[in-house]
Amino acid sequence: MALAPLTFRRATAIAVVVLLVLALLPAGWCVYARPVGAILDDAVSPVVYPLRVMGLHLRQTVSSPESSEADMALIDARLREQDNIIANQIGRIQELEDELHELRGQKQRLGGDSYNLARANVIGQSTDPVSTTLKLDKGSRDGLAVGQPVLYRASVVGRIIDVQSRVSTFELITRPGRVISAVITPRDVKGDWSALDRAPCQFRATRRERLVYDEADGSLPIHVKDFARLQDKDWPASVQHWIIGEVIDVKTSVDAPLRQRVVIEPLVRLRHLSAVSIVMPKQEADEPHAGGTP
């Protein structure tokens, strides 16, 4: 019977078998057993070591179910946190879109030929925690005058009450005791909301930077996040129908079940404003002012 030809594959297999046998032999039987075993261990370790680590981890997981549950709970908490962040960002994007739409509408109402918006920085705040005035770095030489409305983004935040040459002071709409008339409109109405034919409410400012009206018609559909729009004859026509805040609470009046108590709050923290805009008639803004430097 003829022997099969000795190919490279067969020679490699024979060599491996011989090395394994030598590695398994006791050191006293073969002087090559220990070095051969070391060579095989070095050659096989890169492949075997990761498998050993995986096996150890699996054994620990099986033997410690509490640890596995704790890891899963941690992962779940992190996923929930990421979901909340995404939801908040989506909500913020929607708010910015609403604000952009509001600003476009206000620009049309102001009219490019009638009014200018002068930007001013807030340079002083009272240390009194109940103070409702802020100081600006613009004055009469810049066209500012007593009574001009002050804006921040898409909302009315106050009114100029004192003007000097280089500085001025404005009072926030949330001064305690102030009464201001406004109409509540749905937030999702993008077109002409005047067709809703809603009567204005007489809001009274409280000490918590909020405005309250206790006599709203109980049948009127008012919801949290609805806008309150200025409709007050004591304020300039340039800012009529501008937003002064949003509804944060609606409840049935305790003393009058057919009435609602509506609470609104400005869109921003007014005492933390850093810059604002002042609405000025364009002729005032364009003409030079006495006593000022051009």
> For position 242, which CATH number holds?
2.40.10.340
Domain contains 79:
no
- pLDDT below 70 — which residues of the chain? 1-6, 8, 15-68, 94-113, 126-129, 190-196, 283-294
Q: Domain for residue 2, yes or no?
A: no
Same domain as 40, residue 164: no
The answer to whether residues 159 and 150 touch, using CB atoms and an 8 Å cutoff, is yes
DSSP label at residue 3: P
Give the model's pLDDT for residue 280.
Answer: 87
Are 124 and 256 members of one domain?
Answer: yes
**One domain for residues 113 and 178:** yes
Distance from C-alpha of 287 to C-alpha of 284, rounded to nearest angstrom: 6
Same domain membership, residue 280 and residue 140: yes
Q: Is 140 found in the same domain as 258?
A: yes
The verdict on 22 and 151 lying in the same domain is no
Give the domain extent around 275.
104-286
In a domain, 281, yes or no: yes
Query: Do 198 and 129 belong to one domain?
Result: yes
Tokens 């280089």: give the residue: 166
Q: How much is the pTM?
A: 0.61
| Tally of domains within the chain | 2
* Domain-located, residue 95: no
Please write the tens of the pLDDT for every residue from 8-46: 677 777 766 666 665 555 555 555 555 655 665 666 566
pLDDT at 207: 81
Strands 115-125 and 201-205: unpaired
Structure letter (DSSP) for residue 241: T
Residue 81 in any domain: the answer is no
- 115: three-class secondary structure by DSSP: strand
- pLDDT given at position 36: 55
Same domain, 116 and 58: no
